[in-house]
Structure formats: structure tokens, C-alpha cells
Structure 1
């Protein structure tokens, strides 16, 4: 939980762009710009909805300090995804990969998801179970991690 997810998204995006530039033979297709723009916009909207829900609940949006959380947010977009901000980041990376139309770039997306699950989400959830107990445990049982 030491690497801010926004920084990880930027690194992944740069890596994807670099792969497309260095390895042009792996370009799979040329797509209309909106094929990439739609998931990017959707991802931005999903992530923003998560941030706004946390702001309305007056709890921290800083993913490196989940211990500063003041409440369990279970309404709005959090009724459908436990991690809408991370889901939004993944959608944006998907859009960037589609925009690039590059096989290697698209492989960064599952690496991002696996990293987030292992090094960000699982430690966050462990800490939030300790902090909030039964209400958070019920939430874990009712709402899926990503979708």
C-alpha cells in the first residue's frame, strides 16, 4: 500500500505507450479513436463517482492510509463495486490499450489488476475488517471486489 494507485496507473500507461513505440510489430489493429476514448471516459466517471461518494461520507480517499477511514461507504457506486476507483483506473488502462491497438500494451492490464489485488486491495480489506468489524465483513460478503 506504499505505491499510490494513481502513480501505478501512470507508470502502467507509460509502459503501455513505450511498448507500442518500441515494439510496433505487435500492433494488432488500428481503431477509431473513440474505441479507446469510451472506456477511458467511463473509467474516469466510475473513479470520480467513488471519490465523490467518499467525500460525501467525509472519509479519506487516500488509499495509502486506509486506517484514516472514518466510515464504511456502501451506497451509490459502492453498492456495486468495493473498489470503483481501482475499477475506473482499470477501465482507463483498457481504453488506452485499445487506443494503442497493441498486444503487449493490453497485457499490462491483467498485471495491473493482479498487482492491485495482491498489494493494495487485500491489505486494505484486512485493515478495514480490523477497524470496522462485522459491518465491513458483511459488506465484503455482499458486494464483489471489482464488479
Structure 2
């Protein structure tokens, strides 16, 4: 792995930046009808695939540790992994979007793309490399049929 910053820490930093943007730069916030409902729906959209992904890893008795993908014992491809290779990170992204909607902060226009870029470059790509080494052809076939995010 290139960087061993746990994804939850990256998420918390991004969430803190969204909160700080909303509080420190209120002129960059807006309110709109259905704001809380959209935020609640995005929370659900984040918790469901993320939770299902963790349960799939536990069911398959493989590591959930994102800093040690080379310790994976099973290539999980069922459930939400049929649609996204990274449903846990997609779940975190949805939670960030929920925060952005709830606060109405336009700082999300910088924070959210930065989160996606950082996670892709420093977490997902190194994970993909490690999983390629562990699962070889099976992982290559999985890469060909399932997208990285959605």
C-alpha cells in the first residue's frame, strides 16, 4: 500500500471540512426544499451498501482491514459487490453527500471530489494491486465486469 491512512480517518477529515465549511463560510451555504429528506435518503444509501459489504466480508471470513488487502482470503463478488468493487467507500461517499445536503454547503464542490480522488489514488488503486497479486485471474475477470465506484 502506498499510504496507510485508514479510510474512516479520510472520511472523518472530509466530514470535518464539510462541517467547518458550513460553520465558517455560511455565505457558501444554501437551503432548499427537501434538504433534510435528501440528506436522510443519502444516509440510507450510505449505510445499506456499506453495512452489507462488511457483513459479506464477515460471512466469507476475510479481512475487513482496508490497510491489509493482501491478507484477503476470499474474493467477495456477491451482493452489493456485483455492482461496485468498493461499496464501503461508496457508502462513505454517500454519507459525505448527506452531510453536504444537510448543511447545504457549497464547500462540498471541493471536498467531495477531493475525497473521491484521494480514495481512488491512495486506497483503491493500491488495494486493486494487492488483490491482483492474491487472486490473479479471478480478480482480473472481476475487474472486467464490475466498475470501481458505481
Measured against the shorter chain, the TM-score band is over 0.9
Say whether the 8 Å CA contact 1:94–1:106 is kept in structure 2. Answer: no
In structure 2, the residue matched to 1:54 is 57
Decide which of 82, 99, 103 is 2:102's aligned counterpart: 99
Task: Give secondary structure in 2 for the equivalent of 1:61.
Answer: coil
Q: 2: CA distance between counterparts of 1:26 and 1:45?
A: 30
Task: Return 5+ residue gaps in structure 2 as ranges.
Answer: none
Q: 1: CA distance between counterparts of 2:83 and 2:38?
A: 25
User: Does residue 7 in structure 1 map to residue 9 in structure 2?
Assistant: yes
How far apart are 1:35 and its partner, in Å? 1.7
Query: Pairwise mapping of residues 29-48 of structure 1 onto structure 2 (< 5 A)?
Result: 29-31=31-33, 32-48=35-51
Q: What do residues 55-113 of structure 1 show as CA deviations (whole Å, max 9, x unaligned)?
A: 11110111011011001111111111100000000011011101110111342111101
Say whether the 8 Å CA contact 1:67–1:127 is kept in structure 2. Answer: yes
User: Does residue 144 in structure 1 map to residue 138 in structure 2?
Assistant: no
In structure 2, the residue matched to 1:84 is 87
Task: Return 5+ residue gaps in structure 1 as ranges.
Answer: none
How far apart are 1:141 and its partner, in Å? 0.5
Q: TM-score, normalised by structure 1?
A: 0.95
Q: TM-score, normalised by structure 2?
A: 0.94
Decide which of 14, 26, 29 is 1:27's aligned counterpart: 29
Say whether the 8 Å CA contact 1:81–1:144 is kept in structure 2. Answer: yes
In structure 1, the residue matched to 2:111 is 108
Say whether the 8 Å CA contact 1:97–1:106 is kept in structure 2. Answer: no
Q: Which stretches of structure 1, 4 residues or more, deviate above 4 A after TM superposition? A: none
**Change in 2 beyond 3 A, CA 1:94/1:39:** same
The total of aligned residue pairs comes to 147
How far apart are 1:30 and its partner, in Å? 4.1
Q: 1: CA distance between counterparts of 2:25 and 2:102?
A: 15
RMSD of aligned residue pairs (Cα, Å) = 1.1
Q: 1: CA distance between counterparts of 2:15 and 2:132?
A: 32
